[in-house]
Amino acid sequence: MIFHLALAADWDAAVMAGEYRVSTLGRTLEEEGYIHASANPAQARGVAGRYYGHVTEPLVLLQIDEERLGCPVRLEVPEGADEAFPHIYGPIPVTAVTAVTPFSV
């Protein structure tokens, strides 16, 4: 399983569309080239602390089954980071998301 922080409104829109295409806060899959994810909930909490502290909209943590994605997932170390993160190189089908949990920073 891998994890992704999402605005609840973006997830609701994805449920209606059948797939999720937001890479990270304010950027789409098309703009970024992949969807940012975390290897575990602790890594997602670190991301939330660094990048989502100013967000006032409701957040959710998506739990994603990699086997249901149908696109490549690569563990990569972003520039300036000291740990690897899973990057999802395609949209996330809503059927690949096994749990959606409310999340607060």
Is 90 exceeded by the pLDDT of residue 52? yes
CA–CA separation, 94 and 38 (whole Å): 17
Residue 79: per-residue pLDDT: 87
Q: What confidence tens digit (pLDDT) does each residue in 1-51 have?
A: 999 999 999 999 999 999 999 999 999 999 999 999 999 999 999 999 999
Tens digit of each residue's pLDDT (9 = 90 or more) over 56-99? 999 999 999 999 999 999 999 988 888 999 999 999 999 999 99
pTM: 0.94
C-alpha span between 36 and 25 (Å, rounded): 10
What residue ranges define each of the domains in the chain, with the CATH number in brackets?
Answer: 2-103 (3.20.170.20)
Closest CA to 73 of 94, 87, 84: 87
Give counts: helices (H), strands (E), the chain.
Answer: 3, 10
